[in-house]
Amino acid sequence: MTGALIAGSLALVMYRLTMAIVSTYDKPIAFNNPLAARLAGLVRTMIVGVSTLGTMVFGIVALGLVALALQLLIQRFTKPQDATPD
């Protein structure tokens, strides 16, 4: 659960960073050169995409670790206990 808490916290931080990046890049691109405008759009898309990817990776890891903890907890209570030790 500690790992899930850490991953969830990182996902939240990355989400807030992604929203800050998106609000920064909300302005239209104004270049006279069409190649420069395309490159600027490409860089914007890549930066937002990498930030979103990081957010989703940490979020999915957090959910997976919580699901694993629940699975282990359920197995502990449903698995019959052996009376004789090995």
Question: How many separate domains does the chain show?
Answer: 1
Asked, for residue 84, whether it belongs to a domain, the answer is no
Asked, for residue 22, whether it belongs to a domain, the answer is yes
Asked, for residue 86, whether it belongs to a domain, the answer is no
Asked, for residue 66, whether it belongs to a domain, the answer is yes
Letter string b/e over residues 46-65, b meaning 16 or more CB atoms within 10 A of that residue's CB: eeeeebeebbeebbebbeeb
Q: Provide the pLDDT confidence category of residue 30 given band limits of 50, 70 and 90.
A: confident
Range of the domain at 47: 2-78
Comparing 65 with 86, which gets the higher pLDDT? Answer: 65
Asked, for residue 43, whether it belongs to a domain, the answer is yes
The arithmetic mean of pLDDT across residues 37-53, rounded, is: 92
Asked, for residue 85, whether it belongs to a domain, the answer is no
CB 21 within 8 A of CB 48: yes
Taking CA atoms, 74 is separated from 2, 27, 30, 62, in Å, by: 18, 50, 57, 18
The first and second tokens of residue 42, run together, are 């490409």
